Amino acid sequence: MAQIDTMEIPDSVREDLESTENVTGTAFGLKQTREEGITDREAIVVYVEEKRPEEELADEDILPKELDIDDETYKIDVQESGDVKMLEQAMRPSEPPMEMAEAEPELEAIPPSLSRKEKWRPAPAGVSVGHPDVTAGTLGTPPLRTTDGRTVFLTNSHVAADSGDASDGDDVYQPGTYDGGSSSDVIGTLVEFSEISTSGNNTTDSALVEVRPDHLQSDIFELGSDLRAFTDAEIGERHTKSGRTTSVTNGKCTARNATFNVGFKHGTARFVGLDVFEPIASGGDSGSLIGVERPDGFYGSSLLFAGSSSLTLGIPMDAVQQFHGRLEPMTGRELVDPDDMRITGTAFSMSLNAGQSAYRWSGPWHDRYSVDFDAIPETAGGWVSSSVESAYKTTSGVYYRVRIQNKRTNASVDCDVKYAVRR
């Protein structure tokens, strides 16, 4: 499909269309039909919560079939959006199930302890995260460098900052509280976030969380690619995301320059300048980075934040960076201490009874890394050993099965298992 140039819809036209009952948003994109699905025909798209036959509508609520703008005639395509809202994990399911891309069969053998909803150190993008007052969303990106030199990751304001009700310096948990996260699971601190207004236009729902470099992996879970750069979404192109709830899914960008009314806990907020995708997300996927996979890496285009069972909404990364300043992806090499070219940190902590051995999985690690593990006793007089018993390679990376043994037969021990990564 040839690249489609996005048209600017005049504000007066949007206002007329959006004043119609049942309308949730407008955009410029591709016409969709029941028979053909997504076509390659351009249209001004008007989204309605529920499509109804014209005979059931009042005359003033019947939308035109086409519009003339700047001496050009554009078809109007009415598409059903459903109830559009932020995609934080709800306390209970509220949307009908969606058909998602299937997980890779080989990943089914990975133990449940390695799910996206567990604690990860270092954490890849695509796992559970959240402010203490929020259920859970998604850790959106590998580490980024801000213009003032901080190491951060990106997610939504409604995930890390409770839609703006939080304060700078608040802790952020990984995993989020809905997934069992607590004060012992702090991964970073909130340093910047947008506030969600219910009285004016919003351009972004985003937050930056400052972290230590050894708390993050440079990979995106189950994609195994470095975040190379940011780019614009292209209408008709297939995009991918890796999220807490629905894992890796993909779908086409169907429209851009969209305006939508989005439901939040504190009311309805109007967002402008959005990207629209096929339904690729569910509650808890908020904060995921949407983008395209290319031979040299992953290119992020949009920050996922809202949607329904019919569509997914993303904020263009250009709008995110207009708010936060330039965000530079950090490669795995940049995360390494230049003195010894190693990344070190704590993989997990545990307690062992006298003479006990235990096994834990750690991963996924990119196969370009060499990973060593070392158990350090926290109990005075403790003696602990560690060894890698096996490795399990998948397309998302390598998982190591680590054995930890308490060598003391007469006393229990607490220990931290450290990792050291070399490229």
Helices (H) and strands (E) in the chain, counts: 3, 29
pLDDT at 109: 45
Nearest-CA neighbor of 28 among 8, 12, 47, 11?
Answer: 8
Question: What amino acid occupies position 330?
Answer: M
Alpha-carbon gap, residue 181 to 154, rounded angstroms: 19
pLDDT at 105: 37
pLDDT at 90: 58
Neighbours of 382 (CB within 10 A): 18
Name the strand (E) or helix (H) holding 380.
none
Task: Name residues whose C-beta falls within 8 Å of residue 63's C-beta, 6 or more positions apart in sequence.
Answer: 17, 20, 46, 76, 78
Phi, psi at residue 112, to the nearest 5°? -55, -25
Residue 421 has pLDDT above 80, yes or no: no
pLDDT at 103: 36
Residue 341 has pLDDT above 60, yes or no: no
pLDDT at 317: 97
Alpha-carbon gap, residue 373 to 399, rounded angstroms: 13
Residue 352 has pLDDT above 60, yes or no: yes
- pTM equals 0.77
Alpha-carbon gap, residue 267 to 140, rounded angstroms: 24
Percentage of the chain exceeding pLDDT 70: 87
3 state DSSP class of 55: helix
Q: Where are the beta strands (DSSP E) in 156-266?
A: 171-173, 186-193, 201-202, 207-210, 216-220, 227-230, 238-243, 247-264
Average pLDDT in the chain: 84
Question: Architecture of domain 83-92+114-336 in CATH?
Answer: Beta Barrel (2.40)
Name the more confident of 314 and 333: 314
How do residues 392-413 score in pLDDT, each as one tens digit? Answer: 877 667 888 899 999 999 999 9
Alpha-carbon gap, residue 176 to 346, rounded angstroms: 19
From residue 200, alpha-carbon distances to 195, 197, 267, 268, 336 in Å are 11, 6, 12, 10, 43
Alpha-carbon gap, residue 352 to 406, rounded angstroms: 6
- Among 210-214, 271-275, 385-389, the minimum mean pLDDT is found in 210-214
CB 128 within 8 Å of CB 284: yes
**Where along the chain do its domains lie?**
4-80, 83-92+114-336, 348-422
pLDDT at 13: 84
pLDDT at 339: 44
User: What confidence tier does 261 reach under pLDDT thresholds 50, 70, 90?
Assistant: very high
- Among 51-55, 74-78, 123-127, 133-137, the minimum mean pLDDT is found in 51-55
Nearest-CA neighbor of 157 among 210, 211, 204, 206?
Answer: 206
